[in-house]
Structure 1
């Protein structure tokens, strides 16, 4: 299947060409990305990723040059005939085609039936049904003229000796109640229906234009090439006798070179139809068209009903067919039937290049194929494909070199006869080992033919990124380092296989087996070191916990009670201090009263704001039981608001003091809070009792020793320094605290700057108090502001993406990113673009960023985050601002040189 996330940036260079050739619905098209592939002589496959106001549309186009004598349209049917369905890829393989699409609409009866015509390779395979049920067809006449419309079914069988004509309902089609006369030939299948459609079914076998057998309610006839069977449930064939001589006249079909049935006409005589019967639903679509000079046939599929393509309405499909040159066009079967397959030269089987909406190919009755009879000739060109176009020094990349002739036949050659070279690195066999940074080429030659492909070479790895930045574990716990990246000197990341990384740990803290670490010991700290070709990453680790006294339960100031069900006729509760204790201070008692109920009842002590447990891994406390048989549960919450619970006692079957412990749920992270202690009674009893708590402790994760972890390799950003401010263009960007925090220092810092931006917005009064050359809120609607060669782009976004927030901003954003006058670009978004859910839009966005970076632009993307920080990623600076803490991003530009720092107070 096609690579849905292919590198879009390559195609950006062709945008002007694409947009000029694809003007359909120009107001709704944001961008088109096209890739062309020659399949056979006169046959081209074009992949189009269309980005519109409504979403992405994946379009596949097959173009057939009808002037090419080696390639032509061919009908596709199952290898078992039209009475059986088959998937398109099997049809392409069995019919010797190089490519194809699904064809006509069909009924899925016991004998599947395509509804319209099918003609090709000098034979009629399917006729249209009788006039009352006639359907549109796309056709090409023997003199090469294309058209769309009804093909009248005027097939006549004549009994020459008796002078009787028999009007034929259809060729190779039968449908209930089978009362119309149909003619079946070997394209139907191996056998006629026989008595499978009823004991009254009459069948007449014709061989060499003579009736040789006749059966009513009999077994099936074998249908060999050159033989025919007339079939009808009724009396219409009674006049035919064995020995009668017959003739068959196919009428207007004899003037055809090709035809296929379909649905609505989309384009006729160069005009897009506005048919009220057009389906307005966006769905997968298939269509066929021909241009005004009858020199190019267009086979089209449009994907839909999936996360990457929204599909088209029939009106949109009609307009698209017109836009790519169709003078006539017909809608074919769509939905789950929409399929395009290509049998690439050298492959044994066809490949499906679109995404069928059913998740796999749907068996169909007919298809439209393309055959090529071109001979194999001398080598003509090379296709060079490295495993990756974006490469890194220190890695090896396999190269595939294919040799093709002038007809696009793939030739089998000795790989040792191919010479490969590159000024960007060395070649070892069929592997490229980059060594020179920047854009480059890989060149290959064979038999006097030379070809080349572009590559980009990044530096060697400068920094390692592990899946965790630290570890706090307990004895025996395991961590597997699976996701490992290296980062080059521009912040671009490359995934590294864990088997290529050497791991080690401080002695006595644990052991490594490959990338699997098992913690050992208790109460120890140290460091884990990952080493990739001398690039080091150290992370601190601690194993074990330390007990800390948290709360003596000697105060109920922040304690309240709750009951479930909330009905004081069934259950009541109160919280008091009690003198019975484990130390000299009071304990806390939960006093409760319950009546017999079928459902469980619970009473709880709730602590306002929670009791802070730090980074607790477990809790321990004393409980004085009441032999009630109840279950005691602790409820926790972490700093992110995530909640969890742990059972302290499954059944209170004691009435003395007992020390108990329970693990904090592993799903909770960071600072943990104890919010509630509860007792639940499931028995139907009447009870007045109390349960007491004392001496809460927490098993706190051991602190990490960050000093030990110093010495990691880092990919430093050469522009991250405090540049000269005298005579510089000074830019300051910050977020304000919205919860009553003091913003004085940040607002003072913005004064007298060339550009002052409040990323999360401020009131008009606040903005009026800032003295700056250019000042604005970074959370406004989309706009582009400029100052001294720097563009400030505000992009509206939501969790689904940029388009869904405001599609109209995409075109001006793209234009700004390509504007040579903007050397520095600051993009402000209220959602981190790396977390957007629209995968294709996200990929497209970052390809644009990548192109801008590689053209020499300095790009900053500002979005909300959990920390005030700047990270260098893939050539751009990712700026996170929280609004908390006094932090300002300062950018200075002097004499064209940019520097930046995150200033903190």
Structure 2
């Protein structure tokens, strides 16, 4: 029988192949920290050819954890992955709704995001994610500065530019995507320091496209590159460009829908001073791309911070603070993906430390893994045979699904 959060459907699968896996573990690397046992699998179901669901328990430092796991065989010709979104960078929806709207057979939540703005009275949270995002081969956004991120402390050597995704060669990998862009005008050229981000780098200029949505752009000028809670900048400027011509200027960032043929430039400090030199009617060209070192471009990518690289846990992983967590792991040379979400039910809410999460991903067989958003965001949804919509398999720790900005969707075709 499927497990699901309060208020979600509970059904007995009559067509899926369910198997009790009592007393079994999985082969893989030994625990890195010794604090969590190997997963004990209790339920197995084939969601569709190439996609398998399993449930497991394990004893950890803060108590028993209950987990939900999707194993995706990327060698299967009918399987593909893509980013799920709520229709805009600055928008949120529950994972199951995003999955159903796109026709995904399974999904987990994605990146950490701008969930609150308690430090900036009067400024609304955008709901936009921390790291880069690519959907269907199209770049949606770049990464915020390191000091502007939400989420637990990063391991050494990782950044907000780190992503997990699938290349155009159908190989899953962990990589890094850096924004490269510029604003070219008659008076000179400015480097672009933001692309559909909830925080633009200090002294920089950020570009906002229709993909940003209707969220306010004021948040982009708040905080600093090292302190998310720092006050909003007093030096801001906004320029609207339509078909390479400046059509509108404003002293403060705005909000609302950006028309399909427009790009809005938001500047702070030195960037604001540079934008003030532009006049309505000036010619301005904006170019940008997300650049990575992967052997093939990403067809899909979402931000997440690495916890396992080359079959080893990263140094400095938190081994003290436990929480409900979501993770993605890569095995078989990038041809197998593990998507894991812990259960947030009352009996299992203590969860795992980041170090223990790395141990679990290694036990599953992952050579590389990233930590995704957790806590009330952790959600794993999957269809049952014959159903046209997904069912939430874990108990979200808030009692119901939290709206999130993106997720990893698993799709199949006959």
Q: Aligned ranges for residues 405-416 of structure 1 at < 5 Å?
A: 407=414
Distance 1:196 1:19 in 2: 47
- The answer to whether structure 1 residue 334 and structure 2 residue 374 are counterparts is yes
1:2/1:49 Cα in 2 relative to 1: closer, same or farther (>3 Å)? farther
Residues 1:87 and 2:94 are matched in the alignment: yes
Q: Name the SS of the counterpart of 1:114 in structure 2.
A: coil
1:361 maps to 401
SS at match of 1:19: coil
In the other structure, the counterpart of 1:350 is: 390
2:288 pairs with one of 249, 252, 269 = 249
Q: CA deviation at 1:11?
A: 5.2
Instruction: Find the aligned partners of 1:95 and 1:31 in 2 and give their Cα distance.
Output: 31
* Distance in structure 1 (CA, Å) of the matches to 2:189 and 2:297: 22
**Structure 2 residue 223 is the aligned partner of structure 1 residue 216:** no
User: Which whole-Å CA distance do the structure 2 matches of 1:28 and 1:87 have between them?
Assistant: 30
Matched, 1:306 2:350: no
SS at match of 2:83: strand
Shift in Å, 1:27: 9.5
Flag the 1:163–1:47 CA change in 2: closer, same or farther, 3 A.
farther
- Which stretch shows the higher mean deviation, 252-261 or 284-293? 252-261
Deviation of 1:96 (Å)? 3.4
Q: Structure 2 unaligned runs (5+)?
A: 5-9, 13-17, 118-123, 149-158, 222-232
Matched, 1:120 2:146: no
Match of 1:232 in 2: 267
Any conservation in 1 of the 2:329–2:338 contact (CA below 8 Å)?
yes
> Which structure 2 residues correspond to residues 428-447 of structure 1 after superposition, within 5 A?
none
User: Separation in 1 of the partners of 2:309 and 2:334?
Assistant: 13
In the TM superposition, 1:373-772 aligns within 5 A as 374=413, 407=414
C-alpha distance in 2, partners of 1:176/1:140? 27
How far apart, in 1, do the equivalents of 2:339 and 2:277 lie?
45
Q: Distance in 1 between matches of 2:236 and 2:101?
A: 32
Matched, 1:268 2:294: no
Cα deviation for residue 150 of structure 1 reads: 4.1
Partner deviation per Cα, 1:782-825 (whole Å, 9 max, x = no partner): xxxxxxxxxxxxxxxxxxxxxxxxxxxxxxxxxxxxxxxxxxxx
Contact 1:63 1:298 in 2 (8 A): yes
Aligned to 2:70: 62
SS of the equivalent of 2:334 reads coil
Deviation at 1:334, TM superposition (A): 1.3
The equivalent of 1:157 in structure 2 is 182
| 1:110-137 alpha-carbon deviations (Å, 9 max, x no partner) | 1233211111211111211247764132
Question: C-alpha displacement at 1:285, in angstroms?
Answer: 1.0
- Report Cα offsets for 1:225-284 as digits up to 9, x if no partner: 464222224223234453515141314159322221123x221012223x3342422321
Looking at structure 2, the residues matched to 237 and 266 of structure 1 have their Cα atoms a distance apart, in angstroms, of: 40
User: Aligned partners of 2:367 and 2:411: how far apart in 1?
Assistant: 23
1:168 to 2:188 alignment: no
- Give the CA deviation at 1:309: 5.8
Contact kept, 8 Å, 2:62 with 2:322, in 1: the verdict is no
Deviations 1:291-318 (A, max 9, x none): 1411011111122562146421111110
Residue 183 of structure 1 corresponds to: 207
Q: Which of the numbers 238, 241, 259 marks the counterpart of 1:203?
A: 238
Offset of 1:106 from its aligned partner?
A: 1.7
Q: Distance in 2 between matches of 1:30 and 1:325?
A: 11
Q: Distance in 2 between matches of 1:54 and 1:221?
A: 45
Q: Secondary structure at the match of 2:67?
A: strand
Say which structure, 1 or 2, has more relative contact order (CA 8 Å, 6+ apart): 2
- CA-based RMSD of the aligned residues comes to 3.7
Q: CA deviation at 1:98?
A: 2.4
SS of residue paired to 1:250: strand
Deviation at 1:199, TM superposition (A): 9.9
Distance 2:332 2:277 in 1: 49
Cα distance in 1 between the residues matched to 2:39 and 2:131: 37
SS of residue in 2 equivalent to 1:235: helix
1:29–1:53: 8 Å Cα contact kept in structure 2?
Answer: no
Name the SS for the 2:264 alignment partner: strand
In the alignment, structure 1 residue 35 sits paired with structure 2 residue 74: no
State the TM-score, normalizing by the size of structure 2.
0.75
Contact 2:44-2:53 within 8 A present in 1 as well: yes
Structure-1 separation of matches of 2:102 and 2:78: 16
1:76 is matched with 84
Q: Decide whether the 8 Å contact of 2:194 with 2:200 is kept in 1.
A: no
The structure with more radius of gyration: 1
Question: Does residue 137 in structure 1 map to residue 163 in structure 2?
Answer: yes
**What are the Cα deviations for residues 631-653 of structure 1, in whole angstroms up to 9, with x where unaligned?**
xxxxxxxxxxxxxxxxxxxxxxx
1:755 aligns with none
Q: Please tell me whether the aligned partners of residues 129 and 169 of structure 1 are also in contact (alpha carbons under 8 angstroms).
A: no
CA distance in 2, matches of 1:63, 1:243: 53
Aligned equivalents of 2:267 and 2:78: distance in 1? 41
Tell me, in whole angstroms, the C-alpha distance in 1 between the residues paired with 2:35 and 2:304: 30
What is the CA deviation profile of residues 73-107 of structure 1, one whole-angstrom value per residue up to 9, with x for unaligned ones? Answer: 2112223x222332222222334322211111122
Aligned CA distance change for structure 1 residues 308 and 174 (closer, same or farther; 3 Å): closer
SS where residue 25 of structure 2 aligns? helix
Residues 172 and 184 of structure 1 are in contact (CA less than 8 Å); yes or no, is this contact kept in structure 2? yes
- Tell me the SS of whatever aligns to 1:282: coil
Question: Quick one: distance in 2 between partners of 1:256 and 1:196?
Answer: 26
Contact 2:382 2:393 in 1 (8 A): yes
Residue in 1 that maps onto 2:2: 2
1:315 aligns with 2:355: yes
Q: SS of the residue aligned with 2:237?
A: strand
Q: In the TM superposition, what whole-angstrom CA distance separates every residue of 1:410-430 from its partner, at most 9, and x where no partner exists?
A: xxxxxxxxxxxxxxxxxxxxx
- Following the alignment from structure 1 to structure 2, what is the Cα–Cα distance between the partners of residues 349 and 140? 24
Q: Pick closer, same or farther for the CA change 1:295–1:196 going to 2, 3 Å.
A: closer
| 1:258 maps to which of 297, 300, 311 | 300
Secondary structure (helix, strand or coil) at the match of 2:394 reads: coil
- Which protein has the bigger strand share? 1
Runs of 5+ in structure 1 lacking a partner? Answer: 375-406, 408-905
Distance 2:175 2:286 in 1: 28
In 1, the alpha carbon distance for the partners of 2:37 and 2:146 equals 41
* Partner-residue secondary structure (3-state), 2:96: helix
Q: Tell me how far apart the structure 1 counterparts of residues 48 and 262 of structure 2 sit (CA, whole Å).
A: 35
